[in-house]
C-alpha cells in the first residue's frame, strides 16, 4: 500500500521520507504495509477515522518518531 497525498505531505513537511517512516514502524522494512493515511495499522481508515477525516494516529505517532530522531 502507498501513503496518500495527505500523509506524504504531512511527513514531507517534517523532513521525513516515506521510506524512513516505513522503516521506523516496520522493523527496518522499507515497503509501507500500514494504511494509506500513515498509520501502521492497515485498518485505520474506516476504523480509527473516516475516509474523509485526517488521521489522528500519524499526528500522534510523529512525536515518537521525532523523539527517537532528535
- Residues 38 and 3: beta-carbon distance below 8 Å: yes
Q: How many CB atoms lie within 10 A of CB 64?
A: 11
30, β-bridge pairs:
none
Is the distance from CB of 37 to CB of 9 less than 8 angstroms? no
- Quote the pLDDT of residue 28: 94
pLDDT in tens, 9-26: 999 999 999 999 999 999
Task: State the pLDDT at residue 12.
Answer: 97
Angle of helix 56-68 relative to helix 18-25, nearest 10 degrees? 80
Domain locations in the chain? 5-68
pTM for the whole structure: 0.90
Amino acid at each position: 500500500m502507498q501513503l496518500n497525498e495527505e500523509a506524504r505531505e504531512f511527513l514531507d513537511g517534517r523532513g521525513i521520507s516515506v521510506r524512513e517512516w516505513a522503516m521506523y514502524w516496520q522493523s527496518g522494512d522499507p515497503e509501507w504495509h500500514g494504511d494509506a493515511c500513515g498509520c501502521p495499522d492497515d485498518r485505520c481508515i474506516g476504523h480509527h477515522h473516516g475516509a474523509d477525516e485526517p488521521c489522528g494516529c500519524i499526528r500522534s505517532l510523529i512525536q515518537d518518531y521525532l523523539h527517537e530522531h532528535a
